[in-house]
């Protein structure tokens, strides 16, 4: 019985981990789609996914399109 419980517990943690990855990938895709023009206009010299790009986008926040801002906000970027 204990073995079954441990197995279910591990399976549950694995499912939650994969769900988080899928969720993160969805946000990444949404951000890439929504912010493509903003990236090209403001921060194209920064590598996608880098901390430098995040800093650049934060610095240009006032100039970003509404669509990009919404995607970033939905992903948890403030």
C-beta atoms surrounding 39 within 10 Å: 20
The pLDDT of residue 19: 43
The pLDDT of residue 14: 37
Q: How far apart are CA 61 and CA 50, in angstroms?
A: 17
The pLDDT of residue 78: 77
Is this model's pTM higher than 0.75 or not?
no
Domain map of the chain by residue range?
2-74
Give per-10-residue mean pLDDT for the chain (78 aa): 40 40 64 94 93 92 96 87
All residues at 6 or more sequence positions from 50 whose CB lies less than 8 Å from its CB, including other chains: none
């Amino acid at each position: 019985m204990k073995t079954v419980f441990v197995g279910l517990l591990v399976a549950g943690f694995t499912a939650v981990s994969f769900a988080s990855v899928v969720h993160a990938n969805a946000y990444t895709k949404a951000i890439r789609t929504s912010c493509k023009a903003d990236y090209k206009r403001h921060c194209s010299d920064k590598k996608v996914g880098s901390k430098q790009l995040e800093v650049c986008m934060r610095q240009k926040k006032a100039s970003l399109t509404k669509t990009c801002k919404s995607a970033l906000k939905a992903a948890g970027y403030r």
